[in-house]
Amino acid sequence: MKKEEKIYIAGHRGMVGSAIMRRLQADGFTNFVTRVSAELDLRNQQAVAAFFEQEKPDYVFLAAAKVGGIVANNTYRAEFLYDNLQIQNNVIHSAHLNGVKKLMFLGSSCIYPKLAPQPLKEDALLTGLLEPTNEPYAIAKIAGIKMCDAYRMQYGCDFISVMPTNLYGYNDNYHPQNSHVLPALIRRFHEAKVNGTPEVAIWGSGSPLREFLFADDLADACVYLMQHFSDAGFVNIGSGKEITIKDLALLIKKIVGYEGELTFDATKPDGTPRKLMDVTKLAQMGWAYKTELEEGIKLAYHDFLVKHVER
């Protein structure tokens, strides 16, 4: 990518899109084209087609998606499938029609089969059944990977895909029902601390293992791969480290400064028992994460205080 070329970041206000923009700005890129969802509904085929014809971006980071945690995924199954298919179909197809030089599609680690061998290697895709609670989202993301590959094979488009692990960081979603586990715990422990709540109940047994990556590290990997990767398939992006939900909760409890009790509601679903990315492919290309989990959670909690509590 050259500094003067036009870059479109779909989802630039979200946690991932905003991190990618910060990373590019740090490298001296300034020619961005952005639209908020009120200005451009990416589910609208005609609107997306008109936008690409007008702006003609050189590079596209497709970070826009309908996302959420286990509750949101399981509750809004139709929207998670329809909205995400529409967004990626419209953007990828318009990128092809308008001669975009390179597009990066961002997926999710939930594309892997529920019981795939751990850590999750890229070639485990489509080797087994998906986790039922987030199957619609996973199917949409798998379709996005295959769409990029199909446009590469049929039309020679340089469209690549990356699969991030669980993310957290600046501009995260702290919605009480629809957020992912890490930001949800930050909010719950903070509110329990403020309200003097004697205990906080965590969904499930606390035993599932999860991997987390600070969103600014993901952005660094995305920019790196945009410059150094050009192939079919996709690349896992993660830390290669995992932690139990119980230990994650205890770490967030400590950082927030909540002094009440921690309980686990085993009647609630755990989701996938373990979900660790194999990041060998990325490591062999020369990239590694920088932000350790405790440091990243402190940064995220400060961001939560500034944007959701102190304003």
Confidence of residue 311 (pLDDT cuts 50, 70, 90): low
Confidence of residue 310 (pLDDT cuts 50, 70, 90): low
- Would 307 be classed as within a structural domain? no
Residue 98 assigned to a binding site: no
- State the catalytic residues: 137
pLDDT in tens, 3-49: 999 999 999 999 999 999 999 999 999 999 999 999 999 999 999 99
Please check the confidence at residue 207 and state whether its pLDDT lies above 80: yes
pTM tops 0.85: yes
Residue 188 assigned to a binding site: yes
- Would 256 be classed as within a structural domain? no
Residue 73 assigned to a binding site: no
Provide the residue count of the chain: 311
Residue 18 assigned to a binding site: no
pLDDT in tens, 143-185: 999 999 999 999 999 999 999 999 999 999 888 776 788 999 9
Assigned token pair, 170: 């600046």
Give me the number of domains the chain comprises. 1
Give the domain extent around 94. 7-172+212-239+276-290
Gap between the terminal Cα atoms of the chain = 37
- Would 178 be classed as within a structural domain? no
- Would 188 be classed as within a structural domain? no
Average pLDDT over residues 244-270: 94
Give the domain CATH number at 140: 3.40.50.720
Which residues, 6 or more positions from 109, have their beta carbon under 8 angstroms from its beta carbon?
Answer: 120, 163, 164, 165, 166, 211, 236, 238, 275, 277
pLDDT in tens, 105-157: 999 988 999 889 999 999 999 999 998 888 999 999 999 999 999 999 999 99
Distance CA 309, CA 66 (A): 25
